[in-house]
Structure 1
Amino acid sequence: MPQGIYTQLTACYVPTCTPGTSDCYSTCCPNRKVKMRVFDESETDTSSQKVPKIQRHMSINSSLASRDTTNSQAWSATVSREILEITPKDEIKRQESIHELIYSEEDYLRDLNLLEDLFAKPLSEAQCIEPDRRAEFCKKAFANHLELIAIHKELCQDLRDHQTLCQSKGGAGFVDRIGHVFVKHIHKFMDPYVKYGPQVILAEDLVKSEVNTNILFKNFIHEKEKQAETRKLSFNHFHFRPIARLQRYILLIGTVQKATKPDSPDAKDLDECIKAIQKVASFMDEGVGQMKKKLRIRKINERIIQETGQLGADGKPHDFELLDPNRRLIHEGILLRRTNFVTDPIEMHLFLFDHMLIITKIKKPSSSSGDQTSSNAHEFYYLHKKPIPLELLVLQDSSSSLIRGILPTPTLSATPLSFPKSSSPAAQNGSNILPQNGFFSQTSITIQRLGNDNEETTLYDNKTGDLAIWSGKLMNAKSDLEERKKESQPYETEVLNDINFSCSSSMGSKYNHGKVTCSVPYAATSGKRMVAIGTQTGVWIGASGSTSFRKVLSLLDVTQIDVLEQHRVLLVLAEKVVYGYPLDTLDTGSQNKPVERVPQRISQHVAYFSTGVIKGKTLLIVMKRKGMDSHFKAFEPVCGDLRDPKNAKFLTTKSSFLSKPPAWFKLFKEFYIGADSSAIHFLNARLMIVCIRGFEIINLDDLRENRNLPDLKNPEFDFVVQHGEYIQPLGMFKCSTEDYLLCYDRFAFKVDVRGKFSNQNYERIEWEGTPQSVAFDYPNIIAFNSRFIEIRDVNTGKLVQVVVGDNMRSLQFKKPSYSKRPLVHGTMQAPFKPEIQSVFQLTLKASPSES
């Protein structure tokens, strides 16, 4: 049983009492008790003031003993009453502040030593942590605390030496100055503290996690906390002591500065110390704040639950890329969602990151499960719908006028937010008409994810202003993402024409040229870069980048055009007939009335055609449907270069009733496949036909060597078979000497030269949308959806750029003679000109070496 209390070895029981207090009501307060000489029993001194030396059990070295009461007491208790009576009050206050600064530094060093000797060193040898991870755990848990110990050991010694020197000179206990001692050491603070602050935030989480999962470690910490040296303080007190001490320096040194005369030699040093520590504290606080945010992101990543139906096509959870070291959590909070107006609304927890929005439902584990209590139960976030990349996020039907006020100006390369049009007064005034009830106000936002399902989520809130905040955060995040990615995005958009082609007849006959269906770039004889554009009423030609185009051919239902630059022939498919025109004669004629020209009729009943080169031979291949089969005719041009005078006979019209102009093309070969087809791609030595059953490889030298890709009998391609007839092949492209990319409207994947499945770097590309067509410009595959274009790197499969618009379609991708790469053309509804069809070109940005 306890036999007594040794007040000299315990802290004061008065809660408001601190070291240096002179008016404590405790009669035996250790903070103000006068110094009493301590002696060993072996001493022979017979003085009546002897006090036996108190012995106590030490769990660790005596260097870790509790506070020396001589240092802890007020300065005024260390000098005689006569000196105090003749000392000015301002000087007493200054000496008290200096004294507190010195002994609190010793207290701080003692706590750092406790952290090392009581916790860190024993833990490095303790069996509560497995040997294979013990060293790494200790490194993370205690960060660079040894650096701090070394710094403050030197500082503490210099402070004590200076105090002793001053007392030996004056004899009355006065310290003349203190700032110069700190100036000597303060420059060492920056790196260790800026490193320790953020690391201890991670260390705290690491220790908490270990305590919750490792009962041996938990017992280890509790046993150490029971030691007398800890003064009943927790491990966290010693862990976070450096962060608290750095902030306290500003207060302690500031107190000394206030009591120091401005003309004192110490004033300048004290001012320098405060500024230096404030700078260190600022950097450390910034690092701590960033680390807390990173830790919060990590916790979110750990607690997001993806249910079975929300997994990826490969059965694996989606990677939200939250552990990217540069990831930022911009905003989080709760909004309400309703399935109907009868039941209570459901709380949705939204997380807005710098790259995507994640909508979840909160669930807490039952406090009765296992040994988990409500005090340590964590929230789990169940994914509501697929995460929304900011590039694919569209904010609609907002009731806040603030949203329209900060809407960024959309361009072809931007990802503008769109709003539905409404003629109702409520919509024009920026408010929705919703039922009045106690759950939410008359405002809402509808968040749409562009893609296969165009998923929409309408959210409400009963807190005034929250929706406006969310709307602003969402749009600012989109704008910031666009700005950040501007340099890294591979393509920029160039408008080829946005004035000549209207979407409807409302603009009059001058612009009513019908739907833009095709385009092709080429070089004029002069070298000028030109573009031909086909519509439902004819063909227009103009210089690339010019403000207007001129109609050169009046033809109905133009669906495809192409240019054989070597032969100077323009090929046009109109009303299922393929015509050939001399390219260089199309620039003549009236501005308003095109010259009627007699074309070369090449083939009829044609569904589509394609041109290319195989083994050095230029071919024009046309496809005709016969039932469910596709019949092909390959033509070889024999007209030569129509600019050459030797070939003038090919430009003459028939001179009599029986004579015919010479043919520009001769039949090279005919073949067919027993399936409906949609496109032809030229490989190096073979043709690739896109058909409903996949990709047919044709060898024109030996038609018996034809083969089909992929081999659907191979179990590797079961994921293709599972989609059956609901999947549409789009194109096959050679990525390297080793593999090909096979593109469907649901996904894309690689096969090697033998046709076997290749999963190097990724299993397959899962499109965000359902593309109607694809274009290839190595290393990028470009998929056209009606509302956006997604561009992916074929080497990694990752989405690298999104271009958003309305009524987007691919026109053609072709490599003209003046370019080293194919140029990708498309059309869309022009931004801010909904009645105009804008024809644009995706141009790959020049690399630093190319520029």
Structure 2
Amino acid sequence: MHNQRRYPYVTIPPGASPLPNPSPLQAYPYEFDNAPSGDLLNPWDHTPTARHPNGRPGELRSRSRTQSAYEPVPPTISFPEPELHRFASQRATLHPYSPRHRYSKSDDGHGSLPPSTDDVASPPFTPVTPDSASFMHYLPEDDWEAPVNQLTRELSNVSLYSEEGLRRFQAGQLAEKDEEWHRLAPPEAQEALGKKEVERQSVLFELFKSERDYVEDLKLVTEVFIDPLKFANPPVIAPDKLRPFVHEVFWNLGQISVHHEHMLAALFERQLDQHPLVQSVTDIVLETCFQFQSEYESYIKHYPLAEERHRTELSRNKSYQAFMQKCSQDPRVRKRDMITFLSRPVTRLPRLHLILEHIQKITEPGHPDLEDLPLLLNILSDFLKSTQPGIAAAENRVKYWNVCESLTMPKGEIIDLDWYNESRSLVYSGPVARRSKSEMDWHPWTDLFVALLDNYLLLTKEERRTGGILKRYVSSRPIPLEYLKLGSFDGQPESRKERCEEGGILDSLRAQYKPIYPFTIYHSADKLTRRYTLYAPTESAREKWRDALVEAKGIDDVRRDANKWFAPQLVDDGSFRSPGAYTPRGFGSKASGRVVNAVSFTAAGGKRLMVVGCATGIYVGSRGDINFRKILSYGNPSSIIVLQDFNKFIVHHENYLLAYSLDLLARVAMYQAPASSLDASMEKIAGGDGTVLFCSAGRIKQRMIVVYALKSFFQITVHALEACNFSELRRTPSRGSQGTILSFRPFGEPLYVPKDAYSVTPLAKTVAISTEKGIVIADPTNTARQMISVVPDFSGATSDTDMADLKTRCEDAKPLGLIRIESGEILVIYDALGCYITKHGVPSRKSGFIRWETTATSFAHRGSHVLLFSSEFIEIRSLSTGRLDQVIEGSDIRLLLHTNLKSHSADDTLLVAMRGTKDDKDGVSDKIIELVRTAEFSSMQTPMASAPVEGIWDEWDM
């Protein structure tokens, strides 16, 4: 029978003489001149032919596959140790193997037979040919392991001198040129193995070498960088920032290092056991791969952030620069920088994948590795693919930080882009051109860098300063995506004239024309002034901009819709109509007209009612009920106020300020009392002797106060009245007391204000009166010092350029009122901007200001937000930062609660009117919505968490 073994292919020339047994004390083997030809050179070496002369190998024992390198090795049978020290594989006797079994160290001592004194020794190296390998007759044709183990044992006889070199390699003590498999394997072994097996052993050796170097580099990170940085004296990084910095930069590098130290130990043990013919390391790598995946996933996804944190510190901290320079002088570092070491775990697994892939390609058919390697390669490949989205997200985060850190905002303006929100990202960025507005400009094109964030679009001009620092100046105010609208993206390309940068003088004068592709975007609140035509360098770039803008706006709409601070809830759409294009002639007398005011209250019995002021009068009805009843004929009332606790309903109509019984108003609306009873309860608060210009209500010094302004022939006076409870009312006949205020009493003295006053806001102890020149703070109860101050206080503007700029902007704007915020500051609301002042009225925050995206006509304060109302938008901003949190879009928007304060009412209802959805023969509808403050989902109680209701399951007998 011919030799049918499939692995490895080893061809020994016929008639090759046996090799002498080398001495471990010499670099080269020497001959035993006096040794008889029949003597046993190594009594522990047996061949199957010598052991079984009759050609029967005896019982073949079936054994399990190779155990893990991390599992304990089973006890082996002890044999007398020869004086010649060899590897474990060299001391093992030949075993009778079962088919397809892989030899490993765990097999030592199992299944071997005790040496026989009758055995005839075989030479140290026996040519494996059909004539000399007679033991092949006792094995199945597809079993390659027995000859491999025989060959490994025979090769070990000629490689005893390499054990010391192998140990020095593992310790890293060999010269770099000697760290190759062919330098540690004897020439006889290389000649005995086939060319492909030599290549395979060389690649396996490369795996050992690369793993050793990798572990050493991970150790160097701790020894050279981390520990010296922690214990530096003086500190390189501030002590309070050191721990977060080390964690951010080095992340979980220590955990990864532990896994690879264990794997390296197992690999070295396998190498010592089987060198120079290492059969497989797949089991070791596979087991480690299952263990380190979570640590690698965390590190790889975080790596871009770690690298950027290191680079940022390097550019800002000179002490850190010096520290890095000192670390680079360590000879073990070999002039590699920190980035190289930080990127080692990122590149290690792809490198390991390539090595294993190479091993698979050169492995002979029938080798067990061809079963395990594909599994290992698939695991590594799938894992690397799964980390790509995380890496992309982290890299996008780094790009986002780079853009944000390079921005230079317009001087004095407070722009909160919500930079530090973890959900923020850079969607797309790139260069575009814009045509200059000036016709006299010799350079009509301006190069811009446009960055599309997930919440803003930024148009900037780039400038590179000394030292390579890149600055991007915001050339136009950032456009929130809620206000961003897309125009044309299909315009014909235009030509941009450019000068030639190369060649001589004449060539530079020659014009070059390049096609550029226009697209248009604009701000929806300022369609004419803030309209931008930008030019992309290519058609594909224009398409990318369009796709990026559409996608960013779509995602932003969905995200904001799911995270509303104020949710619009429809109250009514159709009850109140104005004449429209489809309205028949004569309908005007039946229409309610445009809604101008509305307020809700709770009637006796707990029923919720709503008072609506329209062009034709004041209507009262239930919320959600289309049948509103007209109660009073005061058309277009300037203000309506409900004082629930004092049973008062106040109406400001034209020149008068009137009060009615709130209870009677509700009873008349529900047909429980005649309209005459409501007229009998009327009290005239002001009017007749002057014109009431405006009014408001609120709590001043813990009292409910109604403040109004009365214009006489020469001046304007502001009066404050305190609402009284029923027990405090004077017993005076109502009909005989026309002109006498029964339900209110004076609060302090009248205040004289400039003639240009137009609104008043009650504060905690004083009132704020808005005038054309500013906001006047006054105390009605302080007769000695009525006028406190005018805010903001710009007395320091002569010596402060920032304050002078703020003063100029405020003089061109119309003040609307004040809001006190939690920080102790006060936010002054203008129609076009807002600014912060201290409790003394002096501008704070370096005289910075916030520009609204729209021109506000009114505002309201709810919780931590200010709501700014214009005809088409409701802009909701954070009080403390000015950040734009939400935008509600509509048509003909009106704030129906003009008092700006919630304290006058029993609830926190905020009603808004806008153009409705109905336009038919009955007219155009006005839609009334309520803005309801939302709460975080996590903070809301679930039904199961609430207290059980007694008897709720009685019907179900539960």
- Establish whether residue 624 from structure 1 lines up as the match of residue 715 from structure 2: no
Q: Which residue in 1 is equivalent to 2:485?
A: 395
Q: How far apart in 2 are the matches of 1:624 and 1:493?
A: 36
Q: Which residue in 2 is equivalent to 1:159?
A: 267
Q: Which residue in 1 is equivalent to 2:74?
A: none
Q: Which residue in 1 is equivalent to 2:403?
A: 300
Q: How far apart in 2 are the matches of 1:72 and 1:116?
A: 28
Q: Which residue in 2 is equivalent to 1:384?
A: 475
After superposition, residues 168-187 of structure 1 pair within 5 angstroms as 173=277, 175=279, 177-187=280-290
1:133 to 212, 236, 239: 236
Q: Which residue in 1 is equivalent to 2:931?
A: 842
Structure-2-length-normalised TM-score: 0.63
After superposition, residues 238-257 of structure 1 pair within 5 angstroms as 240-254=343-357, 256=359
| Change in 2 beyond 3 A, CA 1:480/1:250 | same
- Establish whether residue 336 from structure 1 lines up as the match of residue 437 from structure 2: no
Q: Deviations over 1:790-822 (max 9, x none)?
A: 333434554433323344332216788998653
Q: Which residue in 2 is equivalent to 1:27?
A: none
Q: Give the partner amino acid of 2:433.
A: L
Deviation at 1:493, TM superposition (A): 1.3
- Establish whether residue 290 from structure 1 lines up as the match of residue 393 from structure 2: yes
- Establish whether residue 680 from structure 1 lines up as the match of residue 766 from structure 2: no
Q: Which residue in 2 is equivalent to 1:353?
A: 453
Q: Which residue in 1 is equivalent to 2:552?
A: 477
Q: How far apart in 2 are the matches of 1:78 and 1:202?
A: 53
Aligned length: 734
After superposition, residues 648-663 of structure 1 pair within 5 angstroms as none
Q: Deviations over 1:361-393 (max 9, x none)?
A: 34456xxxx7x7xxxx575433221222323x3
- Establish whether residue 66 from structure 1 lines up as the match of residue 167 from structure 2: no
Deviation at 1:246, TM superposition (A): 0.7
Q: Give the partner amino acid of 2:895.
A: S
Q: Which residue in 1 is equivalent to 2:947?
A: none
Q: Which residue in 2 is equivalent to 1:111?
A: 213
Unaligned runs of 5+ in 2: 1-9, 11-20, 32-157, 497-512, 798-802, 943-958
Q: Which residue in 2 is equivalent to 1:749?
A: 836
The structure that has the greater radius of gyration is: 2
- Establish whether residue 533 from structure 1 lines up as the match of residue 619 from structure 2: no
After superposition, residues 558-597 of structure 1 pair within 5 angstroms as 558-566=637-645, 568-580=647-659, 582-587=664-669
| Change in 2 beyond 3 A, CA 1:210/1:100 | farther
Percent of counterpart pairs with the same letter?
19
Q: Deviations over 1:72-126 (max 9, x none)?
A: 6899977465664xxxxxxx86x56763553122221343366468887556799
Q: Give the partner amino acid of 2:270.
A: H
Deviation at 1:330, TM superposition (A): 1.0
Q: Give the partner amino acid of 1:71.
A: W
Q: Which residue in 2 is equivalent to 1:523?
A: 602
Q: Deviations over 1:581-600 (max 9, x none)?
A: 5413542689xxx9998684
- Establish whether residue 608 from structure 1 lines up as the match of residue 711 from structure 2: no
Structure-1-length-normalised TM-score: 0.70
Q: Secondary structure at the match of 2:176?
A: coil
Q: Give the partner amino acid of 1:499.
A: G
Q: Which residue in 2 is equivalent to 1:490?
A: 565
Q: Which residue in 2 is equivalent to 1:445?
A: 520
1:776 to 841, 853, 861: 861
Q: Secondary structure at the match of 2:460?
A: strand
| Change in 2 beyond 3 A, CA 1:585/1:124 | closer
- Establish whether residue 802 from structure 1 lines up as the match of residue 887 from structure 2: yes
After superposition, residues 643-792 of structure 1 pair within 5 angstroms as 665=742, 668-669=745-746, 671-675=750-754, 676-683=756-763, 687-697=767-777, 699-710=779-790, 715=795, 722-723=808-809, 725-735=811-821, 741-745=827-831, 746-752=833-839, 755=840, 757=842, 767-792=852-877
Deviation at 1:351, TM superposition (A): 0.9
Q: Which residue in 1 is equivalent to 2:91?
A: none
| Change in 2 beyond 3 A, CA 1:729/1:159 | same
Q: Which residue in 2 is equivalent to 1:406?
A: none
Q: How far apart in 2 are the matches of 1:842 and 1:570?
A: 23
CA contact (8 A) 1:639 1:647 kept: no
Q: How far apart in 2 are the matches of 1:40 and 1:716?
A: 94
| Change in 2 beyond 3 A, CA 1:44/1:589 | closer
Deviation at 1:193, TM superposition (A): 2.8
Q: How far apart in 2 are the matches of 1:338 and 1:704?
A: 62
CA contact (8 A) 2:577 2:591 kept: yes
Higher RCO, Cα 8 Å, sep 6+ = 2
Q: How far apart in 2 are the matches of 1:817 and 1:224?
A: 70
Q: Which residue in 2 is equivalent to 1:825?
A: 911
Q: How far apart in 1 are the matches of 2:933 and 2:247?
A: 47
CA contact (8 A) 1:452 1:770 kept: no
Q: Give the partner amino acid of 1:383.
A: V
CA contact (8 A) 1:112 1:238 kept: no
Deviation at 1:311, TM superposition (A): 1.6
Q: How far apart in 2 are the matches of 1:341 and 1:759?
A: 37
CA contact (8 A) 1:552 1:586 kept: yes
Deviation at 1:395, TM superposition (A): 0.8
| Change in 2 beyond 3 A, CA 1:440/1:519 | farther
Q: Give the partner amino acid of 1:781.
A: V
**Greater CA deviation, 351-360 or 379-388?**
379-388
Q: Secondary structure at the match of 1:337?
A: strand
Q: Give the partner amino acid of 1:459.
A: L
Q: How far apart in 2 are the matches of 1:304 and 1:687?
A: 41
Q: Secondary structure at the match of 2:399?
A: helix
CA contact (8 A) 2:180 2:202 kept: no
Q: How far apart in 1 are the matches of 2:187 and 2:420?
A: 57
CA contact (8 A) 2:619 2:628 kept: yes
CA contact (8 A) 1:523 1:816 kept: no
CA contact (8 A) 2:613 2:635 kept: no
Q: Deviations over 1:741-761 (max 9, x none)?
A: 543443243543xx4659599
Q: Which residue in 2 is equivalent to 1:102?
A: 204
